[in-house]
Each structure stands twice: as structure tokens, then as C-alpha cells.
A and B are shown apart, each in its own frame.
Chain A
Amino acid sequence: MPNDATGAREYVKRVQADITEEARRRRASNPTLMVQEQEINQAWTRSAPSAAAVGRDAVSPAEVTEHVAHLLGCVDDLSLIHVDAPVGKRRGVRQVKGAIRLLTRWYLRYLANQISAFNHFLVDFLRSAEQRIARLEGDARAAEIMGEFVDPVPEADPVLGRAVADQLSECEGPVAVLSCGSGQIVSALVEAGVTAHGVDDSVDAVSDGVDEGLDLRAAAPLDHLSRIADGSLSGVVLTRFVERRGPVELTTLIDEALRCVAPSGRIVVAVADLGARSGPEAELLRGLGLSPQTWAHLLGKRGCVVEESELTGARVTTLVTARPQ
């Protein structure tokens, strides 16, 4: 077997060399191949963001050398003393001039690295500043910190899935279920013949549902809505995560949901009984989530016709359904 393996490795090595040689032959015999490769590279440059293209170019050592040479030429043009000014005929003097030029080249490269490090620092700094600003927003901080100390909101149960499907069974266009977990509500909607997809920021929950053939996507619910075109959904279902958000974020969410829903569409909010919270959960989640009455008030203030329906046998006790007018 060792001999067989050695023979096999040698054969693979020969093939590697053959492949390179064959590609060279093809290029030589068929100049259009090289042109095609260039066109493909150009097409990718058009698809890629400019910063990415620059970033990739910058890591190629040959092109770095080329860029530095170009930069050196620009510096020569700006210099008050021409680079080829006579400095004397002695050989040593010319060598010193050459060494200075090499040092200048090295210094330009050093400057470029410093600028790169500064840019990295700047991106990092801006990112951490953005995070601090987010933390200064009280409800974001409460949701982030307090959520760590209490259990996650449970997945939807079959009763809730069926109730939501009943509310949206007449929807003809797509329905988005926000904070879908592993997809119980999406599954109930699909069974009712509604085109539905779910969004959740837990990749693990989403993968479970995806394994069962559901259209679930891993994303932050509000971010997902912000990328949907105006009036392109016939329904939006707000569940689970709305119990852990404060009034500021929830009003933004309502506005986004109304923007995405077609005039004939519906928004359904699954509301749990906040009064049923007890112990640490009651204290730590104070101020997060809204009661059915407040949801109805906010949606009504935005011109929706609102209905509330009670659920029995489920953790979620009320469905608030809104139709834009």
C-alpha cells in the first residue's frame, strides 16, 4: 500500500503539472480564452464593491510594488529638487543617492501601513461608538441586559399557530412572521394555503425549521422589515420578541410594518398577558412589551381598524389584528 500510495501521489503531481501546461497551451492556441478571463475578472470587479476590489488588489505584492513606484513618481513630481539632479560623479555618492531613494520608498510603504492601521482603528472606534450610543437608549439596554437573566420567550404553540392562520387565511400575497422561532406559525400558515416566511435572529431555531422545509431566514426582525418594499406584504405577524422591546422600538416597528403591508393587508400581534409575569421576570422586564389595549391604541392612532380576539389554552392570551385604512 505505501508503494501504491507513492505511485498515486506521483501520478497526481504529474497531472498537476499537466493541467498547468494544458492551460498554457490553450491560452497560446486560443487567445480568446485570455480575453474571456479578463472579461470575467472585469465583470466581478463591477459586481464587487469598490472597497473590496481595492482591498484585494492591495494584498497582491506585485501590485503593491507597482503602487509604491507610482506614488514615488508622484512624490518626485511634487519635489522641489528633481530626483535626477546631478550629485557628483563619484561612485559612492551615487550609491548614497540610491540608498536614500530606497529609504524613501520604504518610508512611503510605512506611511501607507500607518494609514491602513489608522483606518482600522477608525472603523473599530466608530463601531464601538455606535454600540455605546445604542446602549444609551434605555429600552435597548434593558432588553439586552435583562434578557440575559430570564428565560427566552417560548416558541408559539399549536393553538396560537391555528389562530393566526385563521386571521390571515384570506391573504393572497406573502406574509412575514417576525420572531418565528423554529416556524410553528409559518407552518400553520402554509398548511392553510398562505405563502409565508419567517424571520428570527436565532440561527439555531431557524435551522431547525429550515430542515423541515419551511422558508425561515436568520435576521434581526426590524432589519428584515426595513429591507422590504412598500406595500409588498399582505400580512405581518409580530410575536415573541415584541414582549422584550420597549415602547420606542415598538412604535418604530409598527410604522415599518404598516409601510410594508398592502392597503388590503393585515398586521397581527400575538400578545401575552404581561400581568402573568412573576418573580424576577416581573421586575427585570418591567416596561418591556405592551398590553393588548396599548397595541390597539397605537395601531388605532395610525388609522387602522383594530380587533382584539381572546385565545384560550395558549400562553398568548390575545391576538390584536389591525387593517390599515
Chain B
Amino acid sequence: MSRRPVVHQFIPSLARRDAVGFHTFAVDEILRGLGAESTIYTAHINSETKDRARHYRQHARDPSPDLIVYQASIGSPMADYVMGRSEPLMLNYHNMTPPEFFYGWDSTLGAELDRGRRQLAGLCHRASVAVADSEFNARDLAELKPARVEVIPVLTDDALLPVDGPPAPRAVRDRSAPTVLFVGRLAPNKCQHDLLAAMAVLRQRIPGAELVLVGSSSAERYEQSLREFAAELGIADSVRFEGSVSATDLGSWYRSADVFVCLSEHEGFCVPILEAMAWGLPVIAFDAAAVPDTVAGAGVVLEDKSAGVVASAIERVVSDELLRQHLVELGSARAEELRASVVRPRFRDFFLELLKSGEIRR
């Protein structure tokens, strides 16, 4: 009787509410379901994760695994450790924001991302297989010439989606006061400043329009500049910085908003777009990085995000009932395609094949 395969996952920072953190827990469950002995290692242990993960410095003392899975999204000393190991390596790539987005705002984070990008080349060289969660990420990896790349979407947290399936399309509650929503960390690559610019123009056409920004700050200086910018544009009273919110509050925002607008210039996947679609919210997004792959024609994708164009797009989505209905229906179908319950079997099959194949040591 052959022994159970042993798989060790490494993730630089593990948190259940973070998209990559949730994905790591989900992969852990899949591996256990396949009969593997699965352990998660991370560089930061906290009270939430201490029962589910071990510090990576303990790894050297643990029995050698048959396969290492590295969840890559930022630079970490852990990547150097993993590259120094001799076991077969699978790279799960969630993209790394190009450092230039952060250099002016947070040079430490910029350097960390820069380091991560350089480590990525080494990881690609070492990995026998890589999984990218979008076609965009796969193209990003292809430049580094890994042995093999598969595209499987990230495993999302279905608990953040409506329980009873997508809500029916609804009209805007008050066309004179629509709520525009964006969910994501306050970060220069997510370009919340472009949303503020669009709001300044939109407020001249629809004075009651309101912008809600949900998400914690990843660069304090950027958040400060956003607040100053809103004040200078005279729209500070119509912009809500909600910070990090609970799952329940997040659901309430998706339910109560009228349109979801994402003007990010760099996203490796953008889970909130899917969440918005699942909650029956029409999506407007800027055509950049992995965003068009995620939207997949189920939202209004803009090639120009100057303030006037974005304001016009919001105005149109708010006022055109047929457009709203189409966007909600297409969005709901797209969200269904990428639900964890649909993606999970793909990961399961992938690992099943990997664990059976000669790519890992047994």
C-alpha cells in the first residue's frame, strides 16, 4: 500500500479574509480531500491562523514533502528558502503589482514588490508546473519561461456571495442620488483617485451621486492624498471611505449600491468584480491587466478612463434600464462560472493528476 502524499503550501502572509489567504485554505481542504497530508507554512503567524499553519522557519525540521506549493503574490524571504529546497515545486501565481506603482507612495512596499518580481524569475526556473489564476497572469509568467503553465481561477469565498443565487435585476432606487461602489485596498494601482475625478464631473450632472470606497489602506500616504484630493475637488461630503468592513457589511454595500466601478490599472484577477456581479450589481471597468479577462464581456469595459468618459458611463448605466438588465444577467452568469463550487473540481482534478504523475517524488 503506497503512503499518503505529503504536500506543503507556502504563503508569505496568511489571512482568511484576504483573497490569496482564503484560496490557500481552500487548496489545503482540496488536498486533504484527496488523501494528502497537507500543511501550510507562512512567515507571519497570528491568533487567527496559528492553529491552521506553521512558521516557515520550522519547516527545515519537518519531514521532507513530496510537493511544495508556493502561493506567490509578494516578495518574501520565504521564496528564497523555497528556492533552496530540492523537492518538486508548484507555483500558484496570483500576480505581483509592478513596483513603480508604489515607489512614490511607499518605497518599502515598492522594494518588496520589486524583490518579489525578481524572486518570481527564480521560482519559475525552479517550478515544474505553474498555475496562474487568469490568462493575464499566465502571459506575465510566460515571459519567465516556466516549464508548464495552467490557468485555473482563484478559489473565491462563496460565503461572501448571496446565499439564494443572484438577486433579480432592479432599477436604481433614486436616479437623482445613485451610489457608486468600489471594493479594494486603497492602493495606487487601484486608482481610486480616478474614481474621485470621475465623481467630480458626475456630481455636476447628478448632484446627489455618492461614491463608497470599501477597503483598507495599503499606503497611508496614498489614502491621505485621496482625502486631500476629494476635499480639493469639493466632493468630500459625497465620498465615503469605509475602510475594511465585515462580510455582512460588505454584502449590504453590494446590495445597496447602484453600480460597481473599477478603474484599476493593475489587477491580477480582481475578485470584487465577481462579487459585485454575483450580487446583481452592474459593472463598469477600465480595460487594464486581468480586468477584461475577469469581466469577460459581462460589464462595460472602458478603454479611456478620463473623468468625462467614466461619468458618462455611470450616467448611462444608471439611466438605461435595458443596459442594467443585460449587465446584471451577464454578470450573474459570469459569477456563476467562477464560483468556488465550480472552480474547486478543476483544482481537484489538477492536483489528482499531479499527485498521480511522475512530476512529484513518491
| Residues on A facing B (Cβ under 8 Å) | 4-5, 8-9, 11-13, 15-16, 18-20, 22-23, 26-27, 33-34, 36-37, 40-41, 43-44, 46-56, 58-59, 120, 123-124, 127, 148, 152, 202-205, 207, 210-211, 218
Interface pair B304/A20, CB less than 8 Å apart: yes
Contact of A210 among B228, B244, B308, B322 (CB under 8 A): B244
Interface pair A16/B301, CB less than 8 Å apart: yes
Interface pair A37/B308, CB less than 8 Å apart: yes
Interface pair B104/A52, CB less than 8 Å apart: yes
Interface 9-mer from B23-31, B107-115, B145-153, B272-280:
B107-115
Contact of B197 among A13, A44, A50, A210 (CB under 8 A): A44
Interface pair B246/A51, CB less than 8 Å apart: no
- In the bound assembly, the distance between CA atoms of A65 and B51 in angstroms comes to 54
Q: A17 to nearest B CB, angstroms? A: 10
- In the bound assembly, the distance between CA atoms of A95 and B17 in angstroms comes to 61
What are 25 residue pairs bridging A and B, where the CB atoms are less than 8 Å apart in the complex?
A: A5-B333, A8-B326, A12-B327, A12-B330, A16-B301, A18-B316, A19-B309, A19-B313, A20-B302, A22-B312, A27-B308, A37-B306, A40-B233, A44-B193, A48-B225, A49-B105, A52-B103, A55-B104, A120-B111, A120-B114, A123-B107, A148-B45, A204-B47, A207-B246, A210-B244
Q: B103 to nearest A CB, angstroms? A: 5
Q: Which residues of B contact A54 (CB under 8 A)?
A: 104
Given A4-B329, A41-B197, 10 more contacts at CB 8 Å?
A: A9-B330, A16-B301, A40-B197, A59-B100, A123-B114, A124-B111, A203-B15, A204-B49, A207-B17, A210-B243
Knowing A49-B105, A120-B111, the reply to whether A205 touches B232 (Cβ < 8 A) is no
Interface pair A23/B304, CB less than 8 Å apart: yes
Q: Which residues of A contact B111 (CB under 8 A)?
A: 120, 123-124, 127
Interface pair A16/B300, CB less than 8 Å apart: yes
Which chain A residue lies CB-closest to B221? A49
Total B residues in contact with A, Cβ cutoff 8 Å: 60
Interface pair B316/A46, CB less than 8 Å apart: no
Which chain A residue lies CB-closest to B320? A15
- In the bound assembly, the distance between CA atoms of A62 and B298 in angstroms comes to 31
Instruction: Name the interface residues of B263-320: CB closer than 8 Å to any CB of A.
Output: 297-304, 306-309, 312-313, 316, 320
Interface pair A205/B104, CB less than 8 Å apart: no
Number of A-B contacts (CB under 8 A): 139
Q: Which residues of B contact A148 (CB under 8 A)?
A: 45, 55, 57
Q: Which residues of B contact A9 (CB under 8 A)?
A: 297, 326, 330
- In the bound assembly, the distance between CA atoms of A267 and B103 in angstroms comes to 38
- In the bound assembly, the distance between CA atoms of A211 and B249 in angstroms comes to 9
Q: Which residues of B contact A218 (CB under 8 A)?
A: 216
B237 contacts the other chain (CB 8 A): no
Knowing A27-B308, A127-B111, A204-B15, the reply to whether A8 touches B329 (Cβ < 8 A) is yes
